[in-house]
Amino acid sequence: ETGVTQTPRHLVMGMTNKKSLKCEQHLGHNAMYWYKQSAKKPLELMFVYNFKEQTENNSVPSRFSPECPNSSHLFLHLHTLQPEDSALYLCASSLYRLVSYEQYFGPGTRLTVT
Amino acid sequence: TQLLEQSPQFLSIQEGENLTVYCNSSSVFSSLQWYRQEPGEGPVLLVTVVTGGEVKKLKRLTFQFGDARKDSSLHITAAQPGDTGLYLCAGARNTGNQFYFGTGTSLTVIP
């Protein structure tokens, strides 16, 4: 596969469940990102990893826990979520963590919290 | 208050019509990007503009960055059903290393 892939594409979970979202990029990039896209709201940058190190956490609640085991893989572990966390979660990557480098987005995971 | 305001929020037009969507802010940006996001997919970068007053053309799409680098527009000529999607603008400020996204314009082109 090429580009940025995300699994699962759809996820329904209860508030007490634990689940994980997976992102994989086949572009040789060094920076990876998690975004949240909710209806009628701008894309919200959640976490940034640069060369496997977390460099940014934009005040994200601790019920979201990212993990980046290597430059190609990014996970978002979910625990005790709230209904308002229902959204499209997008992963992206870029060659370097600089705005001058294009970000490539995956197709997203549509999360519904019941 | 959103940093970037996009208008209109929704737009439905007939195939062959022209349209313009806007991205406005009171802040100055060092660069501004436009993305298109099709249903079930992530955003795909269309263009980056960096110079005030800059105009870029991509086939039937024309992008303009305002002289003061606070706003931008996207004009589509002779819209086609394949242009349907969510158009997002994103601006990078002079400080920091992050793009701020608008809420998007959802375009539907009816055959």
Give the model confidence (pLDDT) of A48-60 as tens digits.
999 999 988 888 9
Q: Comparing A28-32, A100-104, B63-67, which segment has the lowest mean pLDDT?
A: A100-104
Rounded CA gap, B28 and B34, in Å? 16
- When scoring A43, A90, A103, A105 by the number of chain B Cβ atoms within 10 A, the one with the most, hence best to mutate, is A43
What pLDDT score was predicted for residue A1? 54
Q: Is the pLDDT of residue A28 over 80?
A: yes
In angstroms, what CA-CA distances link B49 with A45, B7, B22? 21, 19, 14
The pLDDT assigned to A56 comes to 87
Q: In A1-86, where does DSSP find H-type helix?
A: none
Residue B96 has pLDDT above 80, yes or no: no
A41, A90, A97: residue with CB nearest B42:
A90
Token duo for residue B31: 């660069």
- pLDDT at residue number A45: 95
Cβ contact, residue pair B2, A102, below 8 Å: no
All residues at 6 or more sequence positions from B45 whose CB lies less than 8 Å from its CB, including other chains: A102, A103, A104, B33, B34, B35
B2 touches chain A (CB under 8 A): yes
Tokens at B19, concatenated? 């349209």
Residue A2: pLDDT above 90? no
Q: pLDDT digits over B9-68, tens only? A: 999 999 999 999 999 999 999 999 999 999 989 999 999 999 999 999 999 999 999 999
DSSP for B27-95, please give it: S-EEEEEEEEE-TTS--EEEEEE-STT-EEEETTEEEEE-TTSSEEEEEESS--GGG-EEEEEEEEESS
Residue A86, amino acid: S
Which residue of chain B has the CA closest to A47? Answer: B98
- Please answer whether residues A91 and A34 qualify as being in contact, where contact means their C-beta atoms are separated by less than 8 angstroms: yes
The pLDDT of residue B1: 59
**Which residues fall within 8 angstroms of residue A87, CB to CB, at 6 or more apart?**
A36, A37, A38, A111
Poorest-pLDDT segment among B20-24, B31-35, B82-86, B90-94:
B90-94
Residue B86: beta bridge partners?
B37, B106
pLDDT at B78: 98
Portion 28-67 of A in contact with B at CB < 8 A: 40-43, 45, 56
- For residue B109, give the H/E element and its range: strand B105-110
Sequence-distant (≥ 6) Cβ neighbours of residue A34 within 8 angstroms: A23, A45, A46, A47, A66, A74, A76, A89, A90, A91
Residue corresponding to tokens 């349209």 = B19
